[in-house]
Amino acid sequence: MSEWSVAEPKKLVVDAPVTELHVRIVNGTVNVVGTEGVSARLQVSEIEGPPLVVTHEGGTLTVSYEDLPWPGMLKWLDRKGRRRHVVVSLAVPADTSVEVGMLGAGAMVSGIEGRTQVKGVNGDTTLVGLSGPVRVETVSGNLEAQAVTGDLRFSSVSGDLTVVEGAGSSVKAESVSGSMIVDLDPAGRPTDISLANVSGEIAIRLPHPADAEVEANTASGAVSSAFEDLRVTGQWGAKKITGRLGAGNGKLKATTASGSIALLRRPPTKEEPWDGGAERPTEKPASPGPADSIPGGAMPHDARTQNAGPEEAVSGGEAQHGSSAGNDTASTTAPRDAATDSKDSTEAPTDKKVL
């Protein structure tokens, strides 16, 4: 086993392979990023209070205090009342399993493919580009997750949840008073979403087209839905949104006592089919003009009369009844084409296909 004591700003390189990372700090910040390779690098840029103890044994890298255990960490209390503050940054192999515990500190974890678990009291957590399963537990700390493709679990008392471009197979969250905002990636697969709180607001934005079986309930809050295929029931007291979107392969369940629920819809992107599968028109077909009713199919030269009404197609509105008037009109409006002049004016024109 290798061991280091860090009492001042310092950099360390662990050449031995690292498969698991355990970090526990009090006040400050911890940053973890996944990289290529099998070794790990550590930098302590700020430290105040007792020294950090860094150990490596059997592929597990641990960064913590001697008196701060992982079990029961959220209830831990420094009996000596010493002030502590530390800023730690670590680069570990991307497939490492990561455990981060913090009291009064914030954490950012990115690029990890292995399992990620975070425990905190009042510090915020940011997760970016994680592809392994994720579990976050806080008291009042908020969670922001972006482009997370692994299964996400979140539980908190009053912390807020924000998911941006979520593409995992499931998102499950529980809170007492924290709000929940979940935005699903349109390129992701159908997702199993389960959100529950007591008084926090819930907002979910689904891709277009959506594919989920929906059930959302609130005891006394407001509900709104951007999907016509879903049913909204209840006017006073309890309200519910139910129905199926698409084939119903995914699941969406949201429950709150007094919070509001909103189901939003992403606008279609350029790559997505128009109107649920029909091809987007590339060119507007030409609409029939007034010249279609003129014998001989003559079309006037002047472009200003292409969309004119029947009265405007004849100059000055001097239309006359009789065959002689019809011939005069045709002769003044027909295009100067030798093939057309050789044909009888009463012959029906050859129809042209509009592509």
pLDDT of residue 143: 97
The answer to whether residues 112 and 32 touch, using CB atoms and an 8 Å cutoff, is: yes
Residue 117: closest CA among 139, 132, 95: 132
pLDDT of residue 164: 95
Between 97 and 347, name the one with better pLDDT: 97
Which residues, 6+ apart, have CB-to-CB distance to 236 below 8 Å? none
Residue 124: closest CA among 105, 111, 110: 105
Helix (H, G, I), strand (E, B) or coil at 271: coil
The answer to whether residues 39 and 4 touch, using CB atoms and an 8 Å cutoff, is: no
Helix (H, G, I), strand (E, B) or coil at 230: coil
DSSP state at residue 157 = S
Alpha-carbon distance of 118 to 106, in angstroms, equals 10
pLDDT of residue 268: 74
- What is the four-CA torsion angle of 136, 137, 142, 143, rounded to 10 degrees? 10
pLDDT of residue 148: 96
**pLDDT, tens digit, 9 for 90 and up, residues 219-253:** 999 999 999 999 999 878 899 999 999 999 999 99
% of the chain residues with pLDDT over 70: 72
Residue range 175-203: average pLDDT? Answer: 92
- Would you call 54 exposed, middle or buried from its count of C-beta atoms within 10 A (0-12, 13-18, 19+)? buried
The answer to whether residues 194 and 177 touch, using CB atoms and an 8 Å cutoff, is: no
Alpha-carbon distance of 26 to 29, in angstroms, equals 9
Tell the residue number behind the tokens 């497939």, with chain if given: 95
**pLDDT, tens digit, 9 for 90 and up, residues 310-333:** 334 333 333 333 333 334 433 333
Query: How do the domains of the chain map onto residue ranges?
Result: 1-70+84-111, 124-275
15-19, 168-172, 184-188: which range is least confident on average? 184-188
Q: How far is CA 212 from CA 182, 192, 206, 225, in A?
A: 14, 8, 9, 14
